[in-house]
Amino acid sequence: MSNTTIDLLNNHKSIRAFTDQPVSDDMVTTILTAASAGPNINNYQPVTFVEITDQDLKAEITAQVGMSYIESAMRYFVVTVDFNKDLIGLTPDVRQQAETVLSSYAMLEGGIVSAGIALGRAQVAAESLGLGSVTMAGALRAFELYEEKLQLPKLVKAVMGFSIGYPAQEPGIKPKLPIDGIWMKEHYSQDQMSAAVTVYDQTMVKYYADRGIDSSWTRNNAKMLTRKQDNAKLGAYPKLKGFSLK
C-alpha cells in the first residue's frame, strides 16, 4: 500500500549538511503547529521547542558535542519536556500538590514520549515542505550550557536537539529491520527477533560496504555500546530539574 504520506514517511533521511538558504518563520510556525497537533500525555502538552539563534552559542554547543549540523543548520532547537506550563494559573496549595505529581518518573516518561511524537511529526512536516532535518540525543550532552543560557525553569528539561534547513546532501535511505523485527503476536519471541536481526545484519553489511565501510548492524552496536562514556551528570540531570523519579 502506498500514498503520498506513506511515501514521505518511508523515504525519511536524516540530513546533517545544510545550505545557507533561509528557513522562514512561517515555515517554522507550520512545522511546530503540526508537531503540537499530535497526541500527548493527558493533554498537558508538555513539549516546548526553544530555538537558539545566537551563532556563537550554536558554535559552542557544536564544539562540545561534536555535531557540526547544529552550528550549520539554519534553525536549531532544544526540545524540552515542559511541565512548568501546567502549573501556571494554579493556586499555591494546588500548585504544591501538582508539583509532587508532575515530578514523578511516570510524568517524565510521558513527557519524553510526547516529545518523541512531536519530533516525529515535526520531521514529516519539514520534509513535506522540502526541508531536511535531524534529531539528536547526543546534543543533550550540552545540557549545562542549555541550563546556563536558556533559563529553563524547574520541571523543564532538555531532551533532544533538532536541526532543520535545506539539504546540502543526499545520504540515501538507511535500511531498517524487516517487519518481523518490529511486529510480534501474542508474546515476545526471541527466536523470531534473532532471525530478523540475522537477515537485517546482512542487509547492513551491503549498505556499509557500498559506503566503503566494513561493518554490520551487530558489529556497529558492539562498537557503540562498549565505548567509554561518562553519563553520571546526565543521569543526575532529571533530579536537577525537579523530577523525583519516584
Q: What is the pLDDT of residues 95-151, one digit of tens each?
A: 999 999 999 999 999 999 999 999 999 999 999 999 999 999 999 999 999 999 999
Q: What is the mean pLDDT of residues 142-168?
A: 97
Is there a domain that residue 112 lies in? yes
- What's the one-letter identity of residue 123? Q
For residue 86, what pLDDT is reported? Answer: 98
Is there a domain that residue 13 lies in? yes
49: part of which helix (H) or strand (E)?
strand 47-52
Is there a domain that residue 160 lies in? yes
pLDDT grade for 229, boundaries at 50, 70 and 90: confident
155 and 211 both lie in a single domain: no
30 and 48 both lie in a single domain: yes
12 and 40 both lie in a single domain: yes
In the chain, alpha helices (H)? 4-10, 25-36, 55-65, 68-71, 92-102, 105-128, 143-150, 190-209, 217-226, 232-240
155 and 44 both lie in a single domain: yes
* 3-class state of residue 83 by DSSP: coil
Task: Give the range of the structural domain holding residue 88, as residue numbers without chain letter.
Answer: 4-171+228-240
Q: Which residues pair with 79 in a beta bridge?
A: 49, 160
Closest by CA position to 161, among listed 90, 39, 236, 61: 61
Is there a domain that residue 223 lies in? no
82 and 51 both lie in a single domain: yes
Q: How many domains does the chain have?
A: 2
Is there a domain that residue 222 lies in? no
Given a cut of 90, whether residue 230 has pLDDT beyond it is no
* 3-class state of residue 158 by DSSP: strand
Is there a domain that residue 220 lies in? no
The whole model's pTM is what? 0.94
